[in-house]
Amino acid sequence: MAARATVYLDHAATTPMRADAIAAMTAALGVVGNPASIHSAGQEAKRLLEESREQVAATLGADPIEVVFTGSGTEAVNLAIKGLWWQRQATAPGGSGSRPRILVPGGEHHATLDTVEWLRAHEGAVVEELPLDELGRVRVDALAAALDRDAASVALVTMLWANNEVGTIQPVAEVARLAAAAGVPLHVDAIAAYGQLPIDLHALRAASGAGPATGLVAISVSAHKIGGPVGIGALVLDRSARLEPLLHGGGQQRRVRSGTQDVAAAVGFAVAASAVHARLGEDAARMSALRDRLIAGVRAAVPDARLSGDPDPAGRLPGNAHFSFPGCEGDSLLFLLDAAGVAVSTGSACQAGVPEPSHVLMAMGRTEEDARGALRITLGHGSTEDDVDAFLAALPAAYERASRAGLAARATSFDR
Amino acid sequence: MSGGVDSAVAAARAVEAGHDVVGVHLALSRMPGTLRTGSRGCCTIEDSMDAQRAANVLGIPYYVWDFSERFKADVVDDFIAEYTAGRTPNPCMRCNERIKFAALLEKALALGFDAVATGHYAKIETDAAGNRELHRASAWAKDQSYVLGVLTAEQLAHAYFPLGDTPSKQLVREEAARRGLSVAQKPDSHDICFIPDGDTRGWLAERVGTETGDIVDRAGAVVGSHEGAHAYTVGQRRGLHLGTPAPDGRPRFVLEVRPKQNTVVVGPKEALAIAEIAGSRFTWAGEPPADPAEPFACEVQIRAHADPVPAIARVSTDAAGSAELVVTPETPLDGVAPGQTAVVYVGTRVLGQCTIDRTVSAVPVDA
């Protein structure tokens, strides 16, 4: 029962750091010099940093100057949403308070949900939640209607590129077109999508007819989801866009993000980004095939299991499978699979590690009982058929036992 | 594992005894506080982290299981309902009865475990016929068998109390330090875990509101007013703020709470004396007496930290077939409130318990 996981299928939480990224990062840790220093040591550090920025920019269809390194994906999301919010308030032609609306789909990551909630509570933002369809895709017609209702009063639109829990790929191109046409800036949280789907800022801006500082202007990504180190992310910020910084200080990175830059982490990030980008298509195809094998296997083993998200393989992240097991607690399944040596996720957990019914499934109109039985299985670049088969071998017994344990809220045989 | 020192050492001993142990922390609220405050010993994120660190040191897996819905329904809402009905509940007992040794135990059994081990100070012994019995801990000063008195034979069959033989809490703390557990010096918890600041009256007032009512003496004369009868407990002396002094000038105590009339009855200390207690919700902690209808000698304890009192108990069944456990203490008991649990002991063994429904005063009204 105390066996530790040997099969890792929670790559959406974090994925193992690549060996080439570890090697490059540890070598860079030995380099002395602050990239802001003028002497030769500083210049050497700066060279490594900027080479890394160029490599990351190339994987995102952006210019190097448009890549702002942050301390995490969460920081990138906060910087985009709050920074754009304050900048849009300061420049509103109608004056303060004339541009209070933030349009955001339900089922977003907490980095977004809690940030817009903070802006609502502290800064007077009017947060309008856009509905999801039953597959977890934002209702584009609802967005169009919200923009039609007075686009001048919208501060920004923010959304996921692909949902981190159920893997549904969002209609980013359509949303970008609508935002561009309405003259509203759009931020996209691509943390779950990066390394699995092609992301190209300039191409998408051109295709959607974005004008200066409007349409798609910002994309958030994180290194540790693609085999880079934890502790570095990036906000890709179109050169035409301005935002208010969250951190004030030395004025590094376009004065958008002050703080001494982490050269070694940037090097590790860049090596991982370049390696993943070079094989993006073939790796995505390989992962999709593994995922489809996994989904078919779950359906064969547990016919009652319900796949969440898009059943069309093209509509979901190549590495994502997400099921609800009726009559089970997700945390029972997680425990039993963990004991059998397979690491998976229930999708979301709060700070204390308490499993909560998935807010994503709730936003998709599912019942709380359905949401309680959720299990997310996510593949990474190193995942193999053996990993999938080990999960499928452990699942039936775990499901049988978890069904017996049932739902925590029900009456028990010990009740009197 | 609550995050306290007792459950951490209990887990350590279970591991050392060769069992296959998994640490489980109960999430009892969907919105836990962040940091420990005052004398609470559980339920915050800090406590959850303490429990996880202890599990790390012991090298055992650790999980948080969410019983917040059951806890709210069976413990918190029950606590409010009992107070609203003028009774004095013991939420820790309800938690043992309905959560730790019901919801948690059933889930654990279904998932393949054999027992729930806790850091309670109590012992389980086996009689000659192989029946499990619940007994007081070796150290009476720390004995917690009272709050486990609600457990039945089925529950005891899967309960494990590794601290039962420990002579003192200090030794448990020393053992925790020796084992490298960071919670070795963590303060003991005293208060009700879901009332963060220990202000039960204020907490209840927020949930059931306040309504001014009369404080009356045993003859029915109004002697004061209050802001809600539910805030009062039988035996309570402080906080009555009576404007009219008693005729004899002696302190007065709460004798009875009448929630329907929103009235609190007060009187002299000797009027608190109770000659008989009875409850229809009773259980046996293991084998029942051979003939429960036959009066038997025992000791009765009515609070976690009260002294046991010699008594005679029996099960009385009325013509309609409804049974109640009736306990007659040798000398009258003070401050017994309906809703409290009377635990019946024979020697160190917990024989059973009832939730007190009714009491019989030892003193006539006109005394």
Q: Two tokens at B98?
A: 């309905």
**What phi-psi label fits residue B44: left (phi over 0), alpha (psi between -120 and 50 degrees) or beta?**
beta
Residues of A in contact with B61 (CB under 8 A): 1-2, 4, 338-339
Query: Cβ of A4 and B61 within 8 Å?
Result: yes
List the single residue in A329, A336, A409 with the smallest CB-CB distance to B70.
Answer: A409
Looking at the structure, do residues B265 and B278 belong to the same domain, yes or no? no
* Whether pLDDT at A168 is above 70: yes
Q: What is the secondary structure of B150-187 as a DSSP string? A: T--HHHHTTEE-TTTT-S-HHHHHHHHHHTT-TTTTPP
Whole-angstrom distance between the N-terminal and C-terminal Cα of chain A? Answer: 31
- CA dist., res. B299 & res. A373, Å (int): 48
pLDDT score at B31? 66
Q: Two tokens at B311?
A: 């008594």
Interface test with A, best of B34, B107, B113, B158 (most A CBs within 10 A): B107
pLDDT score at B35? 59
Name the residue with higher pLDDT: B191 or A213.
Answer: A213
Looking at the structure, do residues B113 and B9 belong to the same domain, yes or no? yes
List the single residue in B48, B69, B102 with the smallest CB-CB distance to A412.
Answer: B102
- CA dist., res. B168 & res. B146, Å (int): 17
Express each pLDDT in A375-393 by its tens digit.
999 999 999 999 999 999 9
Looking at the structure, do residues B220 and B340 belong to the same domain, yes or no? no
**Count of domains observed in chain B:** 3
Q: What is the secondary structure of A163-200 as a DSSP string? A: -TTT-BBP-HHHHHHHHHHHT-EEEEE-TTTBTTB---
* Catalytic-residue membership of A328: no
Q: State the pLDDT confidence band at A344, using cuts at 50, 70 and 90.
A: very high
pLDDT score at B39? 46
Cα dihedral A58/A63/A65/A66 (nearest 10): -90
Q: Taking residues A290-309, report their average pLDDT.
A: 97
Backbone angles phi, psi at A279, to 5 degrees: -120, 25
Q: How far is the alpha carbon of A58 from chain B, nearest alpha carbon, in Å?
A: 41
Name the residue with higher pLDDT: B163 or B191.
Answer: B163
Closest CA to B139 of B167, B171, B105: B167
- Is B66 contained in some domain? yes
Q: Taking residues A311-320, report their average pLDDT.
A: 97
CA nearest to A399 within chain B: B111
Chain B, window 211-240: residues with a beta carbon less than 8 angstroms from a chain A beta carbon: none
- Other beta carbons within 10 angstroms of residue B197's beta carbon come to 11
- CA dist., res. B220 & res. A395, Å (int): 69
Express each pLDDT in A243-270 by its tens digit.
999 999 999 999 999 999 999 999 999 9
Query: Cβ of A402 and B66 within 8 Å?
Result: no
- Is B340 contained in some domain? yes
3-state SS class at B269: helix
Domain membership of residue B294 as a residue range: 273-361
Beta bridge partners, B77, equal none
Residue position matching structure tokens 């489980």: B24
pLDDT score at B233? 86
Looking at the structure, do residues B98 and B241 belong to the same domain, yes or no? no
Beta bridge partners, A138, equal A132
Beta bridge partners, B353, equal B283, B343
Q: How many CB pairs under 8 A join A and B?
A: 87
Top-level class of domain A31-277: alpha beta
* Whether pLDDT at B16 is above 80: yes
Looking at the structure, do residues B52 and B112 belong to the same domain, yes or no? yes
- Is B33 contained in some domain? yes
pLDDT score at B106? 93
CA angle A64, A65, A68 (to 5 degrees): 95
- What CATH number corresponds to the domain at position B347? 2.40.30.10
- A295 burial (CB, 10 Å; 0-12 / 13-18 / 19+) is buried
Q: Which residues contact A194 (CB under 8 A, 6 or more apart)?
A: A60, A161, A221, A222, A225, A226
Express each pLDDT in B212-251 by its tens digit.
999 999 889 999 999 888 888 888 888 888 877 777 888 8
Query: Which of B24-38, B79-93, B282-296 has the lowest average pLDDT?
Result: B24-38
**What phi-psi label fits residue A279: left (phi over 0), alpha (psi between -120 and 50 degrees) or beta?**
alpha
Query: Which of A283-292, B99-108, B180-189 has the lowest average pLDDT?
Result: B180-189
Q: State the pLDDT confidence band at A354, using cuts at 50, 70 and 90.
A: low
- What CATH number corresponds to the domain at position B240? 2.30.30
pLDDT score at B126? 95
pLDDT score at B41? 47
Query: Cβ of A1 and B283 within 8 Å?
Result: no
* Whether pLDDT at A301 is above 90: yes
Residue at a domain's end among B178, B203, B228:
B178
Residues of A in contact with B105 (CB under 8 A): 412, 414
Tell me what the pLDDT averaged over chain A comes to: 94
Strand (E) or helix (H) holding B265: strand B263-267
Looking at the structure, do residues B170 and B21 belong to the same domain, yes or no? yes
Looking at the structure, do residues B23 and B88 belong to the same domain, yes or no? yes
Interface test with A, best of B49, B70, B105 (most A CBs within 10 A): B70
Looking at the structure, do residues B261 and B308 belong to the same domain, yes or no? no
Looking at the structure, do residues B82 and B169 belong to the same domain, yes or no? yes
CA angle A83, A89, A91 (to 5 degrees): 100
Looking at the structure, do residues B235 and B168 belong to the same domain, yes or no? no
Domain boundaries, chain A: 7-16+280-405, 31-277
Q: Which residues contact B202 (CB under 8 A, 6 or more apart)?
A: none
* Whether pLDDT at B3 is above 80: yes
- Is B28 contained in some domain? yes
- Is B104 contained in some domain? yes
- B293 burial (CB, 10 Å; 0-12 / 13-18 / 19+) is exposed
Looking at the structure, do residues B220 and B352 belong to the same domain, yes or no? no
- CA dist., res. B72 & res. B79, Å (int): 10
- CA dist., res. A213 & res. A211, Å (int): 6
pLDDT score at B75? 94
Q: Two tokens at A177?
A: 């077109």
Express each pLDDT in B287-336 by its tens digit.
999 999 999 999 999 999 889 999 999 999 999 999 999 999 999 998 89
Query: Cβ of B102 and A351 within 8 Å?
Result: no
Radius of gyration from C-alpha coordinates of chain A:
22
Express each pLDDT in B32-45 by its tens digit.
666 555 544 456 78
Strand (E) or helix (H) holding B201: helix B200-208
Looking at the structure, do residues B253 and B325 belong to the same domain, yes or no? no
A7-16+280-405, what's its fold? Aspartate Aminotransferase, domain 1 (3.90.1150)
Q: State the pLDDT confidence band at B46, using cuts at 50, 70 and 90.
A: confident
Tell me what the pLDDT averaged over chain B comes to: 90
Query: Which of A197-201, B44-48, B102-106 has the lowest average pLDDT?
Result: B44-48
Name the residue with higher pLDDT: B261 or A357.
Answer: B261
- B188 burial (CB, 10 Å; 0-12 / 13-18 / 19+) is exposed
pLDDT score at A267? 98
Q: Taking residues A226-252, report their average pLDDT.
A: 96
